[in-house]
Structure 1
């Protein structure tokens, strides 16, 4: 064999080897990724050939597939669309499974999960049509509706937790959207709806309870500052703090004022418990500087700031700044400057205090059921952290009860019941009304629900709003929906 023919033979052999290697790579190594790409039309059509599992709340479907007389065979529908959209997410032929439970548990709902392998074999043997698993959520329909109705037409979010287990009892985000528009089989109509929703300046596709740009937590963060003080062993609820009308901030000519413009106590002094009760800015600003940024940052992290949580959707980590000068530290101690939090994180702080210092991991899915509705998996409550001692939790509980009994959170009172809470009014940008907050729990002596409410830009009251006036009544209705049962 002459040299040219030999070289051609080597090249052809190399090409055959490359072809075999690439086909092997595609068929075996990359097959799963290619199959699960959102734009894979063949996979999407195959997924519509079988019934997708339902999503249940209180025994009723908030997402269900119904037979359709078209190419797709099954139509995904959302009976209580907007109220549950941040929880369910959407299932769309064009845009896939997204944002909520639909995206997080797509493999179970579609029936493709490895955990359903043996049940798929049984379906093949028995000739029964394949179907996805059904998910039973922790959400309480009465609590969800109370939160939805109480928030009204205001932008914001509500989260309610069972402090003893971490089960999410309500998750509301407004403005919301109708996932039926994205699940429609009229694809041009779906594309138009997506364009409208994704360019809406109010961001209805964003679940404000767990994602988005996050919010300054305002005075709700004073719970963490108070916790850091009590945990240090250097302070008690009776400890005296500097509480002038305005706090001189070092390194600057700027001062930190109280909203009232007055001293919080005689001679510009106040104790820790009363300072929390009336939400004294200067007392907590001075306390933050006295504690130092390391203690504040450490306490915030113990509660979950900077840590990743999934419910199963990923919760955007809340933020406590990495480095601070003294004026920034004073502002951070009252939940301003660059401190940012999700309503979920704020609810987790209250839930930890309610639960004696033990913070539970929040979760949305209670049970996974097969096509016969037999339970094949359940979520066991798990401890997330122990950010504070039982003694500190008891002291904070008592201090938060004072906030509701006669302080800034009086509108959260429930007749005949002890309620604990903390208000917040957070400045966001010059010329904009403040975001207003309430977080707390009830009954304070045997907590069954912890809640966080945020209303953007003061809601319907705009510049006249405060956490005690706008957010506290919303939280009251949510807590009543739990404790009245």
Structure 2
């Protein structure tokens, strides 16, 4: 072989090796990054054209893929769109939210547990299909929550969350206003863009799942946490322990009317009163003084044991942290004692508080995915997980007694169910904006012994209605509890 030919051969060999090295690099080392690159239209088209798994409530699909007669082969459909949209989210070309996002690996069939099945499909030249996701949602409770919020009228903004206290299963999760994810799953991308722009511009934020993404002042529902901290301190030990009362209370380090706490006309005595009466009448003066007495450190510790300042929802994206601030001054701490100042909570968080009291003080991790099933019907079930022991069983018993009394004799009476002991607490939280209507809250559980359900109702807006946690939230909580225990 003469020298020129040898030079060309060596050059071709170098090019061949470079080509092999580049192909190996792209297909092995860079494959994952290229697949996840949002600019990779081929991956997006392949995903959009595959048979995506169903999201199920019981055995009823609330999201499913059906054959289509266009180039994408399958159309994503949501049979009960408005009631389940905050949970399912939407799946559209290049974007997804809610469970469509958090459970994408399962629904698309790309989860590692499907490796063998996908390998068989590849060898047999079959199209990859996704697994299904079954939810913990109770259909009757979801309907009761949805209908209850809707009954408040046009323009209502709010959320309902129901939990199974001893497992953490999310039995209902509703958020209003809602949206139709079918409009965003269309193969007409121009129409999808218009629909998204309209939803994004809507002042009611219909794309927001208020159950986990909205945090506001919890108001008087937070008093159960203040009571928990006071009982855990050892100074008080029963529902009939004497605590500070009074018609008004001047916050420490303040003067004048701006530092005065009152009870908005409720009868809270003129001196010491029982903790039971303080809870039944929702006495701001009592819980402001208890919080100051317990101290900022103990209040922070108790709130965090219930889940404040942490992330705990793992199978649904978008959780906003509920907040209890640290290093509070005495006047700030007094306001925090009844759920004001900088205390912020989501509906899911307050449902967890109620559930923990019903569950002997144990906080369970909330979850909404009950079972993951492969296309071959191999199932993987979720397991309940304990997050913390927020309070002792003895403290939980006292708090449960207090909340039952509040339904039987106090402000939470709208949640009463005949022949069943129900625990509840109202909340009407001031926004801190002059002239603005307050927020309405209601938390509850039932039955009081061996509880099957804990509920939180939060109402941000209810045009044309007088805002009150008991009047607005109590009947909704009652309907949800009855749906579970009936």
- TM-score, structure 2 as length reference: 0.91
Per mean C-alpha deviation after superposition, the further-off stretch among 73-82 and 318-327 is: 318-327
Would the alpha carbon gap of residues 184 and 238 (structure 1) be closer, same or farther in structure 2, given more than 3 Å must change? same
CA deviation profile, 1:372-391 (whole Å, cap 9, x unmatched): 3x243110111111111111
Per mean C-alpha deviation after superposition, the further-off stretch among 112-121 and 27-36 is: 27-36
Show the counterpart of 1:205. 207
Structure 2: distance between partners of 1:460 and 1:195: 25
Structure 2: distance between partners of 1:21 and 1:321: 55
Structure 2: distance between partners of 1:136 and 1:362: 15
Show the counterpart of 1:242. 244
Structure 1: distance between partners of 2:467 and 2:481: 21
Would the alpha carbon gap of residues 157 and 262 (structure 1) be closer, same or farther in structure 2, given more than 3 Å must change? closer
Structure 1: distance between partners of 2:314 and 2:145: 19
- Asked if 1:277 is matched to 2:276, the reply is no
Per mean C-alpha deviation after superposition, the further-off stretch among 435-444 and 374-383 is: 374-383
CA deviation profile, 1:139-183 (whole Å, cap 9, x unmatched): 011110100000114210000001011111000000011111110
Of 269, 290, 295, the match for 1:287:
290
Structure 2: distance between partners of 1:36 and 1:369: 24
- TM-score, structure 1 as length reference: 0.91
User: 1:186-197 residue pairs with structure 2 within 5 A?
Assistant: 186-197=188-199
- Shift of residue 461, structure 1, vs aligned partner: 5.0
Contact 1:157–1:343 (Cα < 8 Å) also in 2: yes
Structure 2: distance between partners of 1:37 and 1:238: 62
User: 1:6-405 residue pairs with structure 2 within 5 A?
Assistant: 27-93=27-93, 95-98=94-97, 100-125=98-123, 128-152=126-150, 153=153, 154-212=156-214, 214-236=215-237, 237-253=239-255, 254-261=258-265, 263-265=267-269, 267-314=270-317, 315-372=319-376, 374-405=377-408
Contact 2:173–2:211 (Cα < 8 Å) also in 1: yes
CA RMSD of aligned residues (A): 2.1
Contact 1:256–1:282 (Cα < 8 Å) also in 2: no
Contact 1:311–1:364 (Cα < 8 Å) also in 2: no
Q: Secondary structure at the match of 2:326?
A: coil
Contact 1:244–1:262 (Cα < 8 Å) also in 2: no
- Shift of residue 246, structure 1, vs aligned partner: 1.3
- Shift of residue 269, structure 1, vs aligned partner: 2.4
Contact 1:293–1:329 (Cα < 8 Å) also in 2: yes
Q: How many aligned residue pairs are there?
A: 464
Structure 1: distance between partners of 2:96 and 2:464: 37
CA deviation profile, 1:379-405 (whole Å, cap 9, x unmatched): 011111111111111111111000000
- Shift of residue 200, structure 1, vs aligned partner: 1.4
- Shift of residue 26, structure 1, vs aligned partner: 5.0
User: 1:454-469 residue pairs with structure 2 within 5 A?
Assistant: 454-457=458-461, 459-460=462-463, 462=465, 464-469=466-471
- Shift of residue 125, structure 1, vs aligned partner: 4.8
Structure 2: distance between partners of 1:26 and 1:41: 16
- Shift of residue 18, structure 1, vs aligned partner: 11
Contact 1:256–1:281 (Cα < 8 Å) also in 2: no
Would the alpha carbon gap of residues 334 and 404 (structure 1) be closer, same or farther in structure 2, given more than 3 Å must change? same
Q: Which has the higher contact order (CA 8 A, sep 6+)?
A: 2
Show the counterpart of 1:446. 450
Structure 2: distance between partners of 1:139 and 1:396: 27
Q: Secondary structure at the match of 2:210?
A: coil
Q: Secondary structure at the match of 1:132?
A: coil
- Shift of residue 466, structure 1, vs aligned partner: 1.1
- Asked if 1:413 is matched to 2:416, the reply is yes
Structure 1: distance between partners of 2:230 and 2:415: 26
Structure 2: distance between partners of 1:470 and 1:92: 36
Would the alpha carbon gap of residues 19 and 201 (structure 1) be closer, same or farther in structure 2, given more than 3 Å must change? farther
Would the alpha carbon gap of residues 39 and 434 (structure 1) be closer, same or farther in structure 2, given more than 3 Å must change? farther
Contact 2:267–2:281 (Cα < 8 Å) also in 1: no
Structure 2: distance between partners of 1:327 and 1:19: 71
Unaligned 5+ runs, structure 1: 1-14
Structure 1: distance between partners of 2:253 and 2:243: 21
Contact 2:248–2:263 (Cα < 8 Å) also in 1: no
